[in-house]
Structure 1
Amino acid sequence: MDKLDLAKTYKSYYSAPTEPQIVEFEPIRYVTIQGQGDPDDHAFSQAAEALYTLSYTIKGIYKKEEQDFTVAKLEGLWWVDGDVSKALLVPREEWRWKLLIRMPDFVRAESFEEARTQAMAKKKERGVISSIAYESLQEGVCVQMLHVGPYATEPETLEQIDQYLAEHKYRIAGLHHEIYLSDPRKVEPSRMKTILRYPIQEIEVVEG
């Protein structure tokens, strides 16, 4: 039985160069969980653990149907209330986030509900698992770039993205999106790899 590996099947989604790049994506299905606060807090790690628990439960259901797949990388959408340009200036406790794990196209909504019921029966964190959703995200045209290094130096990469958008007359039209290619528990900070992505739109130039 062949095992579907989303990272190999969708290479443009799970890879990026170390300079800004324009890409486009169709609607994609994810299991997601939303929260607020410092990513170093327990609530964040608890949400990530619950998301992986449910993803592996879904995987188990489809493995029995001979449609096995590799659980994909963790992703995150990030924002703050008010002026998003000041996201790095507000206290981390005010950050809002939505964690995502991409699902294969063949995963059905009823299988998600079945997996969530199974996971809730096995885990103490029933409330966290019950808040996980199965939803579609359509980002369309995006700019993305590979950030190499610790999360704290992401602003340097984001500055390159901002310069690129200004030069090519684009504007950000969606949430800050990160794909965590490296496990921070296993990779030293200077070598960690994270894809940074934004949905974008062309700026209309009005002829005078």
Structure 2
Amino acid sequence: MTKADLKREITTYAAPRGRFQLVVVAPARYLALDGRGDPNSAPAYRDALATLYPVAYRLKLASKTVLDRDYGVMPLEALWWADDLDTFTSARDKSRWHWRLLNLVPAWLTAVHVAAAQDVVARTGHAPAIADLRLEPLDEGLVVQTLHVGPYDEEGPVLAAMHEHVTAEGYALTGRHHEVYLSDPRRTAPARLRTILRQPVTRG
């Protein structure tokens, strides 16, 4: 059985470091959970992670054993937003952040497969946000993205520069700030964390 490497197959899961790239992101579907607050301390964020990963791996198992199609579970992703953009770029007031955690679902898996995986995971009793998990479509279209290497708390200046670049090139921000976490923070030193920073845009 061949194991699909979707992170390689979907070209937008790579971004250049040190410059901003304009690309079109194809529509996709994700496991999704919403919440608010500092991801370092908010119980809702911890509960979302404890729910998202078991369902993602259950889906992978079902794909491999039932459909004979194996794949690597995709990286954690998140949409972030706030009433005041400065909370991302300068103030970095995480208590005011809203977030939507995401994990990409391969195109060949259906809502029926997702519901079955949720049901199995729910019966374990170890997925505190399982009732709120859903399959969410996302069609971002045109985006500007870059690769940030380093601690999450050092993203602010990069985001500010990205926003300035977008305006200077005649585009406008639209949609929500999107991050793709290519590194596992449990196993990677902060200085080596690799994160794609993505911002949907439209021609101004």
Q: Tell me the TM-score normalized by structure 2.
A: 0.93
Report how far residue 76 of structure 1 moved: 0.5
Contact 1:74 1:180 in 2 (8 A): yes
Report how far residue 85 of structure 1 moved: 4.2
One-letter amino acid matched to 1:58: L
Pick one of 64, 67, 70 that aligns with 1:68.
70
Contact 1:77 1:97 in 2 (8 A): yes
Structure 1 unmatched ranges of 5 or more: 204-208
| Alignment RMSD | 1.5
3-state SS of paired residue (2:4)? coil
Aligned equivalent of 2:147: 146
* 2: CA distance, partners of 1:92 / 1:190: 20
* 1: CA distance, partners of 2:45 / 2:78: 11
One-letter amino acid matched to 1:21: Q
3-state SS of paired residue (2:70)? coil
Instruction: Determine if the alignment matches structure 1 residue 136 to structure 2 residue 137.
Output: yes
Aligned equivalent of 1:194: 195
Report how far residue 86 of structure 1 moved: 4.1
Contact 2:78 2:180 in 1 (8 A): yes
* 1: CA distance, partners of 2:24 / 2:165: 17
Report how far residue 197 of structure 1 moved: 0.2
Instruction: Determine if the alignment matches structure 1 residue 157 to structure 2 residue 158.
Output: yes
* 2: CA distance, partners of 1:34 / 1:74: 14
Contact 1:55 1:71 in 2 (8 A): yes
Report how far residue 90 of structure 1 moved: 6.7
* 1: CA distance, partners of 2:7 / 2:14: 8
1:88-103 to 2 correspondences below 5 Å: 89=91, 91-103=93-105
One-letter amino acid matched to 1:115: A
Structure 2 unmatched ranges of 5 or more: none
* 1: CA distance, partners of 2:198 / 2:31: 19
One-letter amino acid matched to 1:2: T
3-state SS of paired residue (1:72)? coil
Contact 2:77 2:102 in 1 (8 A): yes
Aligned equivalent of 2:4: 4
Report the number of matched residues. 200
* 2: CA distance, partners of 1:74 / 1:195: 11
* 2: CA distance, partners of 1:189 / 1:89: 20
Aligned equivalent of 2:172: 171
Cα deviation 1:65-117 (Å, max 9, x = unaligned): 2011110000010011x333444537422211000001110010111111100
3-state SS of paired residue (1:78)? strand
One-letter amino acid matched to 1:184: P
Q: Bigger CA drift: 59-68 or 99-108?
A: 59-68
Contact 1:29 1:103 in 2 (8 A): yes
* 1: CA distance, partners of 2:102 / 2:155: 20
Q: Tell me the TM-score normalized by structure 1.
A: 0.91
Contact 1:20 1:160 in 2 (8 A): no
* 1: CA distance, partners of 2:122 / 2:111: 17
Contact 2:28 2:137 in 1 (8 A): yes
Structure index of larger Rg = 1
